Amino acid sequence: MKISKQDKELIFNELKKQFRADTSALYLLVSNIITIILAVYERWSLSEIMCIYWGQSVIIGYFNRRRILDLQKFSTSGFRSMTNL
């Protein structure tokens, strides 16, 4: 399946819009960059770095679970797949 240049631009613009709307993705990116810089500067071992990322995953999972459980009404009406653009 070949995607036209116009469709690629639509997809890219949609992803850009979603990324701007979700500040948590930006914070996650910044925190990962800071962690990498600290790990290189402080010469952390692989196990230390993995513990940090494991903890980060647990925290993200906890808040996503809370978000899912807080949903009162869930519907996929109006949902559009990226392949249908």
Most confidently modeled range among 26-30, 35-39, 66-70, 80-84: 35-39
82 domain residue, yes or no:
no
Residue 83 counted as domain residue: no
Domain range for residue 25?
5-70
Q: Which residues of 43-71 are buried (b: 16+ CB within 10 A; e: fewer)?
A: ebeeeeeeeeeeeeeeeeeeeeeeeeeee
Tell me how many domains the chain contains: 1
Q: pLDDT tens, 6-57?
A: 877 888 787 777 766 677 778 888 889 999 999 999 999 999 999 999 999 9
Residue 23 covered by a domain: yes
Residues in the chain: 85
Q: Does residue 42 fall inside a structural domain?
A: yes
The answer to whether residue 29 sits within a structural domain is: yes
Prediction pTM value: 0.56
Any domain includes 85: no
